[in-house]
Amino acid sequence: MKPPTHPLDFARRYVLRFETSCGTFVVLLQPRTSPNATSSVFELATTGYFEDTIFHRIVPGFVIQGGDPTQTGEGGPGYSTVDTPKPSTSYVEGTVAMAKTGAEPRGTAGSQFFVMTAAAPTLPPDYAVIGRVISGMAVVRLIGTFGDPSDPAGTPTRTVVIRHVAATNT
């Protein structure tokens, strides 16, 4: 796959509707914050990239993470984008940001994303923020309960499938 060549139009509203085995939640994308990552995730969603993948990392009271087609935490689209977060970036409940490895530069993004299930004031501003949950936060919280609190790796205790991600703009 290749990264998108154009950012999303800042004058439009972009929404991702995640239909999961636990219910639906909706994310409003924020292309001004991370134009490269939001364009990439939106395009991936329109191609069905996230269909029938799982939340492969669930850390109760912290995050749910998905977007890996290999379902191992190692996969991605074959490219990365970079949107360096501002030093003032914070990760509050409902924030959607892009996951990266510790070795990658700040703001690097592939296809893996995480949704904050609680505020994380000590999380450094290293992750490109792509949006926020505007509907279905109860579903996100429910998914967040399917992890072992004693397992820092976030191995799920129940498989939660992302059945479909509908990408729309207005």
pLDDT (0 to 100) of residue 132: 98
Measured in Å, how far apart are the chain's first and last C-alpha atoms? 26
| Burial category of 125 from C-beta neighbours within 10 Å (exposed 0-12, middle 13-18, buried 19 and up) | middle
Phi-psi region of 52 (alpha: psi -120 to 50; beta: other; left: phi over 0): left
- pTM score > 0.85 for this model? yes
Name residues of the chain where pLDDT drops below 50. none
Token pair of 160, please?
Answer: 């939660």
* pLDDT tens per residue across span 117-165: 999 989 999 999 999 999 999 999 999 999 999 998 999 999 999 999 9
What pLDDT, on the 0 to 100 scale, is given for residue 99?
A: 97
Contact criterion met (CB below 8 Å) for 37 and 45 = no
CB contact at 8 A, 34 and 130: yes
User: What are the backbone dihedrals phi and psi of residue 158, each rounded to the nearest 5 degrees, phi first?
Assistant: -145, 140
Distance CA 140, CA 24 (A): 9
Contact 79, 104 (CB under 8 A): no
Judge whether 161 and 59 are in contact, CB under 8 Å. Answer: no
Identify the pLDDT of residue 32. 96
Structural domains in the chain plus CATH codes: 14-169 (2.40.100.10)
